[in-house]
Structure 1
Amino acid sequence: MLNNIGLPGLLLIAVVVLVLFGRGKISSLMGEVGKGITSFKKGVADGSKDDEDAAEAQPKPIMADGTSARDVSPEAKKDKV
């Protein structure tokens, strides 16, 4: 059904929407959409930053002799997680 909508059909739909809602309402709606996208991107960036901070905040395991544990796996196997 949507495969048959061409450029003239899309232009007609755009004109009808513009007439029904008006230019001011549509521009304010697009402004709100832009603010929402910006807020979403900021939230994603803050979430990944929080994840990194939480990973760094985890205490390192302490061995019985008082030293911290260290990774002794071969370099070739470290990349394969």
Structure 2
Amino acid sequence: LRESGSIEQDADVVIFIHREDMIYSPEDWSKVHDIEKEPYPRGIADIIIAKHRNGPLGQLKLRFVGRIAKFTNLEAELIPAS
């Protein structure tokens, strides 16, 4: 955030969204990653909390549902149906 003007000093929270599927096509991804170990991250967003005056910094992964512009928890997908 350095040299970002007043954002660094004025903002209480700065969050970045990073999506690998916006950078790589599935074909390009397979050229630089082992698909067995790192499958193509379609719809996966890294949420990066770069500044938080009253809380922790960190990173988390969420699923992005583009048709309704919504982020959802990935953990919900891991819960087995009973």
TM-score over 0.5 (shorter chain): no
More strand by share: 2
Q: TM-score, normalised by structure 1?
A: 0.18
Q: TM-score, normalised by structure 2?
A: 0.18
